A and B are shown apart, each in its own frame.
Chain A
Amino acid sequence: MLKRIYDWTDERTGLVSMAEEEMHKPLPPGVGWPFSLGSAILFLVIVQFVTGFTLATLYAPTPDHAYASIQYLERNVPYGRIVRGLHHWTASVVVIVMFLHLLRTLIYGAYKRPREMTWMFGVGLFFVMLGFAFTGYLLPWDQKSYWGTVVGTEIAASVPLVGEYVLRLMRGSNDVGALTLSRFYAVHVMLLPWLLIGLLSGHLFLVRKLGTAGPWAEHQGENARPNPFYPNQVFKDMVVAVGIGAFVLYMAIQVGAPLEPVANPAATDYIPRPEWYFLSLYQLLKYLPGRLEVVGTFILPTLGGIALFFLPFLDRSPERHPLKRPWVVGIAGVTTLGIAILTAVAMFTNPKQPGAETPVADPTMTGPVTAAADPVRGKKLYEDFACGSCHVISGQGNAVGPELTHVGSQRDAAYLKKKTINPKFDNPESIMPPTQAPPKDIDDLVAYMESLK
């Protein structure tokens, strides 16, 4: 039966035998593990499409609901936390793997004739991926995403002459707000995916049409044998893809995706920081004061991007050995090192976020609630943390967990504190998630509960 469907389809389209032919095309000798990164990226892109669609079924792109919808996804939707974690961690990992893939291609000189366009499609894909990162960053509408976008769009405003127009075009108005969120969402889920699919199709078509360049000539000794794509290379590709996938899944489950307090345009104590892959630029700006700033915000990134895109035309000799191309490999090495150093410096020297990065309350801590605890702020936190999705106070909320209407007269502060931090301490069956918040927040929450007599 399967065979008949197969033959029927193939007779009419020729697609099946074409795909099979592709699978069995031999690869040049010496192709192996370093050539598996492209497939890994393809796998990660598929992960992003699938998890992205799933997130979009639960997300509301308006400032009124964006944060609440993410909170709901994290706390109430089964596996929602993991799906968001997968999307978050894959977004980071794909940037690293793409960078390595690009570096590998550069070192092997694989962008040279006739593969110039394969390279240009690839660089285009890298820019599209950074676009995904920039637009996706805003969507959770927490402090980090709001302030990151304020600064990010402000950087775009430093473009000479047209900066102000670029800023308004990106924000949809003068400030980061409802219109910004809508347009970032539209770009993230409607424009960029199509660009990605278009560029990726071109890239993959050329990779299959021209074949992989393989290693430079010296690798191909006398005994070199061509490598069948299937199963030899497919197996290696899949080991790498699944390995990266396992790491991403582990991070999604163990760490999850961060969610800071809801965006507050009035906050003055918040230190905006971009996502790690933009940290090097962020750090560079610190060394370029005043009039030179535009060098870091606009001139360097633009020139770098253009040089990268047109690299096949800047380095036209047929020589592929990295040691015989000292300029290209040297500049790439210095740039990579520079980015790495700037990123590291930014990661280790920047001030800690007040509040956001203060240590989470120690689960073993049972000490008394400090006298300064503020029940009014606690009530606000109770709402922010959506405790009402499982607890009822005076008829408000859902009775999944115990009702808290009179909890202040039923439990003492020490118990409430312990229970809030580690709900399983007296009942291993408890399904309540531990409350991860700075000690001050826990104290205020407990103070609020104590006030419910």
Chain B
Amino acid sequence: MWKKGVTLATAAIIFASAAANVSAASGRDYISIVGSSTVYPFATTVAEQFGKTSKFKTPKIESTGSGGGMKLFCAGSDIDTPDITNASRRIKYSEYEKCQKNGVTEIVEVKIGYDGIVLANSKAAAQLSLGKKDIFLALAKEVPDPKGGEKLIANPYTTWKEVNPSLPDSKIEVLGPPPTSGTRDAFVELAMEGGCQQIDWIKARKETDKKHFKSVCHTVREDGAYIEAGENDNLIVQKLEANPKAIGIFGFSFLDQNGDKIQGSVVEGEEPTFENIAAGNYPVSRPLYCYVKKNHVGVVPGMAEFLAEFSSEKAWGEEGYLADKGLIPMPAKERQQFAADVAALKPLLMAK
């Protein structure tokens, strides 16, 4: 009898204290960040550094994915909503509109750097040199009939050599991210659509039938040559080691960490190296962003200082600690531009 009494009493106490705390939580004393899992490793590094060197608490960073982050970010402007969201792509107009509608009228856009998407294989195999067109032909669901003419057929290629005679005679076997991933979106847009553009008659379609153009260029084959390997890039690296014939698609930081086991394929004659991506030569690289709620600056303690830390040279500069983590810095001029915008909290204006 008394045992149950005790547990019930504890329950009551916990509830009471929790209720008291909930009302106290409205004055949040830490920064709340949500968003992309690609930006997560970089944002967390800055957050940790910020927590150690400033008098403020370490920001809390949730890994929700770009889309999920935007949804939370745009849900409202009150203090319960996140202060910052990270994205591995630019904010969409529809998201911007939703933000405006929900009272998040002033958003500061910060580009934080670039991320290269690499195609890599095991060091046990030869390094590949691919064109964007090869990537499109090897991975699209429907490709132009090799016999010629403006006709699309289901992708008939099974080996790289069939796609391009200069490539090795090995089976097409590509491990990549699933459609929910921002990396996949960027890969499809930059590499596959890029290859698509190199085929004249499909390129012409872009003007006449944009929807069809997109569906042709953005649809990845589903016959087993492209294997959805999940969001975990470490897993893809391990699979590449075990299977030298396979090629994996993932972010540059994983190539950077595993240079002894895997090699990045050359795309359009450019090697996926830090320097090449930073210089903008490597064609498959995308910008990373974070979006800040202007009306939370000054309300949540440490916001201005955190943004200053993020946009400082020691963080996102060429020798900064984010570069050590695999973030490709922006050119110096762009960095200056964005640092100034951040300091001035210049709100983003978007037109349809």
Decide whether A and B are members of one complex: no
